[in-house]
Chains A and B, each alone.
Chain A
Amino acid sequence: MAKSEESQAGFSRPFRAILRRPLRVVEGRRRLLKWIGAGAVALGAGGLGLKRLLGDGDAPQGGWRPFRAQGVVVVVKHKAALRSDGSADPQAVAQMVNAGVCRLTGEREPRQAWRRFVRPEDFVALKVNCLAAPELRSHPEIARAATDGLAGVVSRRENLLIYDRLTEELRQGGFAVNHDGPGVRCYGSDAAGYDPEVSESGAVGTCLSRIVSTHATAIINLPVLKDHDLAGISVALKNHFGSINNPNKMHTDHCTPYVADLNLMPALREKQRLIVCDALLVTYQGGPALNPPYTAHHGAVLVGTDPVAVDAVGLGIIEGLRKQRGLEPLASLPRAPRYIALAGRYGLGVADPARIKTITVDLS
């Protein structure tokens, strides 16, 4: 659905009126809320997990802002997430995803947690990764857990769309293609089309999928954690190569600066609300397709709002798996993912592992 530039910013009219008030009034309100927040942290941090009260405290009264937690990644593990046959256990996966969003937001109930990312009027596009389907792709169980959570917020399930580049790849990945029937929609950019005009950002010149540019008001990024023979790894930042029409032009120089430049595009940067990274099955060498000798049942899901931090944590996981197998670290190879640090310098998130807060939740 077409949205004006103003409404895509997510600020209601009352909020804009507040912005025009004298600064000292806003500052006073902020100071008060910060005190409240500090107290709540002292009381609730242990039991409720990290609460981004300082950030929430900045939200003026009467306006909604999507939850943001820069530099925070929740890693949720569950031994039973993958069965012995490699399939995902829907219940375990749903537990993981909901535990992740709750821990990230500090909410007790998943329903409340999901409300922190989308609003009832949002049209939410969920970007999965089915390039290497059927063997290695975003598990439909993760997407299902996300859509079930989101369905409790948005006005109707038909306002949820699972997408990737090609409809057939989605089908190969085990997703039920649904162009216009009841329930969650699912189709590729090949069905939705691409912008007729080129969008530019740094070195990137591309036609965005209309799903991203026009239809969606919110994006949930559901990447797969995997090795990539040119980009080093493919996680949240690179997943949006499937949101444009010419990713083949952007693999030169190991995808740097293209991945970072692409994620600077307002349609992606401003609409993306959450990343739920599928790290159930991780190929850590020889990607982006499944490479069985170098694939681990990792049984984890990474949850965050910071795509750079998610990528950095994902890179750490892959480096750990590589080290166990005696493989060279990616950091020492020409294909080291330099775009992660670049994206950090661009202000898209936190790239330095030392500055990332990683919260581990083990549901096993």
Chain B
Amino acid sequence: MDRRGFLKCAAALGAGAFAWGCQAARPSGVARASRPWPPTTPPSPSAGQAQAAQTDGHFVRQAQHYTRLGGRRVRCEICPKKCEVGDRERGFCGARENHAGAYHTLVYGRACSVNIDPVEKKPFFHFLPGSLALSFAAAGCNLACKNCQNWEISQVRPEQVEAAWMPPERLAAEARARRIPIVAGTYSEPVTFFEYMDATAVEGRKQGVRTVMISAGFINPEPMKQLCAHLDAIKIDLKSMRNAFYRDNCAGELQPVLDAIEVAHRHARWLEVVYLVIPTLNDKVAEVRDCARWMKRHVGPDVPLHFTRFQPMYRLKNLPPTPTETLVRCRNAALAEGLHYVYTGNVPGDPGENTYCHHCGKMLIERRGYEVRRNEITGGKCRFCATPIPGVWS
């Protein structure tokens, strides 16, 4: 996420509508008070203008998917960490808190970042190409990736980031009013603002707005199925095919992510996968081939796979950005394994940005960065050979 982007939306959409909502996502030294429960204390005098009308209690809702244990303890069932949380404590994500044996989300409607992005930026290449997405996030994450590019909102607690009250109905209404066809939960980790994400998808469907989720996929099957039932598309980050990478770099696990990809493939309307290539850590051809083979076997050759470039960030600054040659090599290896739609991300001008018919090989969508320059898909089919092209095209 661009730090400036949060402010740009105010100018684009009307300062009046978003002045209270859009602020640069950054660690704040002047967050509001968050006790008692539910919190009702007005914010400190030095709190930002955006918070003037809100208190932390505004954002608190009873959480879904948790189990009450004895002694006022709970076990969260949203993600494989299955945090067992004592009274007054939070789970790993920092966005859910236990009070006297009842688990709560702290971030319902608590948007710390709102932006308008091209859908290709998510990246979705087979979902309404050329469309805009009203993109939002709440603070927190159930992983701790050392290379997180959005760590300033993902690796902090909600009260440390300025946020605005943007309930699901408001998100959908704003998108609809501006004829933006998509609302996207993204930037941090929608799994940790599960209730907010799910409600936004439900509301979006009511108001005729498509809702998509961009996630690391570290989520349990049941909550994932619930999201799939309401979402229109999901993009999952497959960070590596090695559990050691997930353990050492992300404080996570590989298998649950693979399971989530399969669940999304079976239950979601559309799925795309991103593999962020990090030099020396997950860029070996053997690993990339493992990824392609797994995808072909478990979700089929038509699920798009994006190889994107790593940038030094957060706690992983000692490695260089991914060379273009590496991304091209990864793409070629995945295509050689039989995947139909493989892309190189963040490489403007590279052929890997474009969509080619997997049957006749003709270029169907020409892209330059996030811009769609040409689209030869008509009625969901290749214009040249009439082969159905998997995706959501209208």
Contacts and interface: CB of A to CB of B under 8 A. Distances in A.
B89 interface: yes
B203 interface: no
Given A166-B35, A289-B72, A249 B146 contact: no
A114 interface: no
A168 B40 CA distance: 11
Contacts of B83: 251
A246 interface: yes
Nearest to B141: A249
Contact of A168 (B33, B92, B151): B33
A193 B29 contact: yes
A191 B251 contact: no
A168 B87 CA distance: 17
Given A169-B35, A200-B315, A245-B157, A207 B27 contact: yes
Interface size class of B (residues with CB under 8 A): 35 or more
B44 interface: yes
B14 interface: no
Nearest to A285: B71
B28 interface: yes
Nearest to A196: B27
Nearest to B99: A289
Interface string A217-232: 0000000000011100
Contact of A167 (B33, B89, B90, B315): B33
B159 interface: yes
B367 to A, nearest CB: 35
A112 interface: no
B180 interface: no
A363 B337 CA distance: 78
A342 B73 CA distance: 28
A294 to B, nearest CB: 9
B16 interface: no
A203 to B, nearest CB: 10
A236 interface: no
Given A193-B29, A291-B71, A246 B155 contact: yes
A334 to B, nearest CB: 11
Nearest to A229: B86
A190 B31 contact: yes
Given A168-B34, A288-B86, A192 B93 contact: no
B27 A230 contact: no
Contacts of A193: 27-30
Contact of A288 (B32, B89, B94, B144): B89
A166 B160 CA distance: 10
Contacts of B259: none
Contacts of B29: 190-194, 210
B145 to A, nearest CB: 11
A191 B30 contact: yes
Contacts of B144: 205, 249
A221 to B, nearest CB: 20
Contacts of B28: 193
Given A169-B35, A245-B160, A228 B251 contact: no
Contact of B44 (A132, A167, A198, A245): A167
A4 interface: no
A190 B160 contact: yes
Contacts of A228: 86
Contacts of B251: 249, 252
Interface in B54-92: 71-73, 83-84, 86-92
Nearest to A167: B33
B375 interface: no
A248 B71 contact: no
Nearest to A205: B315
Contacts of A172: 35-36
Contacts of A133: 35
Nearest to B98: A289
A167 B46 CA distance: 13
Interface in A237-268: 245-246, 248-249, 251-252
A71 interface: no
Contacts of A132: 87-88
Nearest to B73: A229
Given A205-B315, A291-B71, A248 B27 contact: no
Given A166-B33, A166-B35, A168-B41, A249 B86 contact: no
Contact of A245 (B84, B88, B156): B156
A286 interface: yes
B156 A246 contact: yes
Interface in B124-177: 144, 146, 151, 155-157, 159-160
A249 B26 CA distance: 19
Contacts of A167: 33, 44
Interface string B93-118: 11000000000000000000000000
A192 B27 CA distance: 11
Contacts of B315: 198, 200, 205
A359 to B, nearest CB: 33
Contacts of B32: 190
A286 B69 CA distance: 12
Contacts of A179: 44
B273 to A, nearest CB: 26
A193 to B, nearest CB: 2
B39 interface: yes
A228 B91 CA distance: 14
Given A191-B44, A245-B157, A166 B34 contact: yes
7 contacts: A194-B29, A196-B27, A229-B71, A249-B92, A252-B92, A286-B71, A288-B88
Given A179-B44, A198-B151, 19 more contacts: A168-B35, A168-B36, A172-B36, A190-B33, A190-B34, A190-B160, A191-B44, A193-B28, A194-B160, A196-B26, A198-B314, A198-B315, A207-B27, A229-B73, A230-B84, A230-B89, A248-B90, A248-B91, A248-B94
